[in-house]
Chain A
Amino acid sequence: MLEGIDLAEIEMKTGPPPEAVRRAVESLVRTGKLKEDGTRLRLPEKLLFVSNEVLQAIV
């Protein structure tokens, strides 16, 4: 879980991310609610407990 997801792998399976998803993710990364690590994207450990709030910003 703490490893996050591999964006490159998802892109390979489903094509490039839709604009709305890309914008939401960029905003969350900018505000520190998601962390980028190479091609991986993950929740910072301190935000695990409120992950619903973070991830609902994308949906």
Chain B
Amino acid sequence: MRGIYVHIPFCVRKCSYCDFYSVAGDRAAIEDFLGLLVREMDLFAGKFPGEAAVLADTVFFGGGTPTVLGADALCGILAALKERFPIEPDAEVTTEANPGTVSAEDFLTLRAGGFNRVSIGVQSFNKATLETLGRIHGVEEVRAAHRDARHAGFSSIGMDLIFGIPGQEATDWAADLDMAVTFLPAHISAYALAPEPGTPIHGAVGRKELRMPTDDAVADMYEETRRVLSRAGYRHYEISNFSRPGAECLHNIKYWRREGYLGFGPSAHGLLFPQDKAAFGMRTANPPSLSDYRRAIEERRLPWEDVHVCDREDAWKESGRTPGRNRSLRGCECWRGSISRRSK
């Protein structure tokens, strides 16, 4: 079975560490994007009917900040996917949700619209750390998002955290872990920050306005993560990911097992297995640009800026990766070049 990834390229504000493609979007830009996204789905289904007929058991909305679109729009995209591609009735359907961009009503709408898993971008509970990261939310917004998601019926709630942040002490990270555990989320992702070139935080570190923790300090934080979360009953199933037994993110695992997935939206990547064209798989990459994405779709071609037909060596290298990422927020993958996150 396969997965489907949808990249929502909008944010309220760009975080200082993030190098994923996103822009600030007004209502008109969002409406325009929604139309393009559906046209991309149609283009794909028309050009690859065999691939389009493969049953999917995971769908993941990432970004950017998917919840910036509003719950109705996200449910509309999911409905459009279901009209065009076979999706298991009990498929894992996830959206990333950033505190401060999603209301109690939104969660109810998402749940009723078919989403059953939510990944909350917490990153930290520490005010100073959140400011360094350029996040728009505070701890109260996290509490509200978690409470509202639970009340809406989401039993599979994940929290994303980041460690190894400039100014973050070991005690700060330990406090973040302790706080996260008190929410009893089904899933916790804990990523080590690696400032990517071009991001504000990378620039600030380069100018010595911020100082990264030492490698040893970050390694200690990682070990602390493993200790605290395993004691709290979480299974360390992937280098940066921990879950309650049975609550692993199936979509994430699919990337690491080299199972197929479709990618829709700017900067989304895919892995297809059209047997007549690429027995070892074919990787596709959409451009990280809304204008390039739009141009391709208006010219009625798939917005793939890169297509790589895998050979046996690629298949071995990619199959051989042990699930997980470390020392990176998605930019530096275990098997460099082989997985683009969600791959984004």
Tell me what chain B mostly uses at the interface: helix, strand, loop, or mixed: loop
In the complex, which residues of chain B have a beta carbon less than 8 angstroms from the beta carbon of A4? 322
* Stretch touching chain A among B78-86, B120-128, B232-240, B295-303: B232-240
* Residue in contact with B327 in the complex, picked from A17, A43, A49, A58, CB distance below 8 Å: A49
- A41 with B219, Cβ < 8 A, contacts A14-B280, A18-B312, A21-B313 known: no
A1 touches B237 (CB 8 A): yes
- Interface centre among B223, B239, B280, B319, by most chain A C-beta atoms within 10 angstroms, is B319
B335 → A minimal CB distance (Å): 5
* Residue in contact with B323 in the complex, picked from A1, A25, A50, CB distance below 8 Å: A1
The chain A residue sitting closest to B219, CB to CB, is A49
In the complex, which residues of chain B have a beta carbon less than 8 angstroms from the beta carbon of A59? 317, 335-338
* Residue in contact with B322 in the complex, picked from A1, A10, A14, A49, CB distance below 8 Å: A1
B315 touches A14 (CB 8 A): yes
B206 at the interface (CB under 8 A from A): no
B3 → A minimal CB distance (Å): 18
* Residue in contact with B313 in the complex, picked from A20, A48, A50, A55, CB distance below 8 Å: A20
Roughly how many angstroms separate A43 CA and B256 CA in the complex, as a whole number? 15
In the complex, which residues of chain B have a beta carbon less than 8 angstroms from the beta carbon of A21? 313, 316-317, 320
Size category, A interface: 20 to 34
**Interface, chain A (partner B; CB < 8 A):** 1-2, 4-5, 10, 13-15, 17-18, 20-21, 25, 41-43, 48-52, 55-56, 58-59
Query: 30 A-B Cβ contacts within 8 A?
Result: A5-B319, A5-B322, A10-B316, A13-B315, A13-B319, A14-B316, A17-B316, A18-B313, A18-B316, A21-B313, A21-B320, A42-B322, A48-B239, A48-B324, A49-B326, A51-B326, A52-B326, A52-B327, A52-B328, A52-B336, A55-B320, A55-B321, A55-B322, A55-B334, A58-B317, A58-B320, A59-B317, A59-B335, A59-B336, A59-B337
**Interface, chain B (partner A; CB < 8 A):** 192, 219, 222-223, 236-239, 280, 312-313, 315-317, 319-328, 332-338
List 8 A-B pairs, minimum CB-CB distance, nearest first: A14-B315, A18-B313, A10-B319, A55-B334, A1-B238, A21-B316, A1-B323, A49-B222
Beyond the given A5-B319, A14-B312, A56-B335, please list 10 additional residue pairs across the A-B interface where CB-CB is below 8 A: A1-B322, A5-B320, A10-B315, A15-B312, A48-B222, A49-B192, A49-B222, A49-B326, A51-B326, A58-B335
